[in-house]
Structure 1
Amino acid sequence: MKAVLIGATGATGKEVLDLLLAHDKFTEVVALVRKPLPIAHEKLHAVVVDFDNLSRWSDVIQGDVVFSCLGTTLKDAGSKEAQFKVDHDYQYEFAKLAKKNGIPTFLLISSSGADPKSWIFYSRMKGQLEQNIEALDFESFLAFRPGALLRPQSDRKGEKIGVSVISFFNKIGLFRNMAPLPVSRLAALMVRYSISPPIGYTVVGSGRILKESKKLVK
């Protein structure tokens, strides 16, 4: 199998990339990146692209499955408009090119609470992205909606606060389906689903991710 990946330098994307390169089912992995990757591998084809003009690299978006792990924070982006460009526009353009090139399977890291009608900007943005990709009618489209993620050496203050709050409630028996999830487990589940994906649009919610990923990573 051949996989195409965006977001390979993010916490989950790095895990996905490592798993794809190590998996004997995958013979080639194309990673579209904004700057050169610090690793080399016989299966890896890293392509430096301009995401504002991604269609120029349409010819390299070829394969059996694509992974969209791109994302940023409002703080890092600097504005809602800039965050929307990364979290929605870039990924939607990637999806359109993948569909145009006949790739049958699309896997997306979305977010718990994704809803195109939400009054919360982040949830609405993620919901709009899912809705737009669903309309492209991939043979298989999987939207993973994790809750709080545990990222190694994370410097995201808001995320750390969220993890602490959820962890506290978990200790008293509440919100078990929203327990913080190591990104390694999310990545492992995504790769497992990519090999034999269900037909149609599948939402993999936080509770399901927690349950199904538990035995994949020790």
Structure 2
Amino acid sequence: MKTALITGSTGLIGSELVNLLLESNQYEKVIAFVKRDSGINNPKFVQHIINFDNPTTYQELVKGDDFFCTIGTTIKTAGSKEAFRKVDFEYPTQFAEMALKNKVKQFLIISSLGATESTGNFYLKTKAEVESFLKKMNFESISILRPSLLLGERKEFRLGEKIGGFFTKIFGFLFIGNLKKYKPIESKNVARALFEIAQKNTEGYTIYESDAIQEMVE
């Protein structure tokens, strides 16, 4: 039985993933790194309330088998590009460095559809820079998931996701062929794909586009 490590455990995908990990016989322990008490009461669940900006205080705690990085925000929520980059680039790369140093075998992370360093979109460029950073790291397995627009009940309101969900219900049949990967995807399906990929122990660096993620759980 394995030990799972997760950051972003209270988010849209992370919360779904934690439930899967706790219910699974594959994991004997689920360790979450959080800013505040998550309120989860389960004998398999261990949470470390940390100051993300002071990695020396928790780097020795990043020990296990599979690290799931589901942390993320938006520029609007973070308040600035600098604050956004701290959450979406600095924290994931910090955890990756600590995980590799502590001999964690797998690192799985949520990126975004359209991530590329050649874009002028700051959000997508940052996601691509994280991917490039991870590609240079010597984990046994690195899995990059690039979901399209996420559907699910967030604690925070995101107008774009609400609009996307509305139009998907009406025009979902249009997302076929080359457009299939742009179809909005349920957060619970992304969480399920993360879980399933971790059990495959695929060696090397693998990117999963949104349509592949959806097909994996159908």
Instruction: Pick the TM interval, shorter chain.
Output: over 0.9
Q: Which residue of 1 aligns with 2:195?
A: 191
Q: Which residue of 1 aligns with 2:76?
A: 75
Q: Which residue of 2 aligns with 1:152?
A: 153
2:206 equivalent to 1:202: yes
Q: Which residue of 2 aligns with 1:161?
A: 163
Q: 1:43 to 1:80 in 2, by over 3 A?
A: same
Which whole-Å deviations, capped at 9, do the CAs of 1:116-143 have from their partners, x for residues lacking one?
2222111100000010011112110000
Q: 1:163 to 1:120 in 2, by over 3 A?
A: farther
Is the Cα contact below 8 Å between 1:178 and 1:206 reproduced in 2? yes
**Other structure's SS at 1:207 match:** helix
Deviation at 1:170, TM superposition (A): 3.0
1-side partners of 2:138 and 2:170: how far apart? 40
Q: Which residue of 1 aligns with 2:142?
A: 141
**Other structure's SS at 1:18 match:** helix
Which whole-Å deviations, capped at 9, do the CAs of 1:134-185 have from their partners, x for residues lacking one?
1112110000000011021561112223444555553345523222211111
2:28 equivalent to 1:14: no
Deviation at 1:69, TM superposition (A): 0.3
Q: Which residue of 1 aligns with 2:126?
A: 125
Q: Which amino acid aligns with 1:67?
A: F
Q: Structure 1 length normalisation: TM-score?
A: 0.93
Is the Cα contact below 8 Å between 1:189 and 1:213 reproduced in 2? yes
Query: Which segments of 5 or more consecutive residues in structure 1 lack a partner in the other structure?
Result: none
Is the Cα contact below 8 Å between 1:55 and 1:97 reproduced in 2? no
Query: Which segments of 5 or more consecutive residues in structure 2 lack a partner in the other structure?
Result: none
Give the number of aligned pairs.
214
Is the Cα contact below 8 Å between 2:175 and 2:182 reproduced in 1? no
Q: Structure 2 length normalisation: TM-score?
A: 0.93
**Other structure's SS at 2:58 match:** helix
Q: Which residue of 2 aligns with 1:64?
A: 65
Is the Cα contact below 8 Å between 2:111 and 2:127 reproduced in 1? yes
Is the Cα contact below 8 Å between 1:167 and 1:180 reproduced in 2? no
Aligned-CA RMSD value: 1.5
Choose 110-119 or 76-85, whichever is displaced more.
Answer: 110-119
Choose 122-131 or 47-56, whichever is displaced more.
Answer: 47-56
Q: Which residue of 1 aligns with 2:110?
A: 109
Q: 1:74 to 1:168 in 2, by over 3 A?
A: farther
**Other structure's SS at 2:53 match:** helix
Query: Percent same amino acid at aligned positions?
Result: 33
Which whole-Å deviations, capped at 9, do the CAs of 1:48-95 have from their partners, x for residues lacking one?
011111231111100111000000111110001100100110111011
Is the Cα contact below 8 Å between 1:62 and 1:103 reproduced in 2? yes
**Other structure's SS at 1:171 match:** helix
2-side partners of 1:173 and 1:90: how far apart? 34
Runs ≥4 residues deviating over 6 A:
none
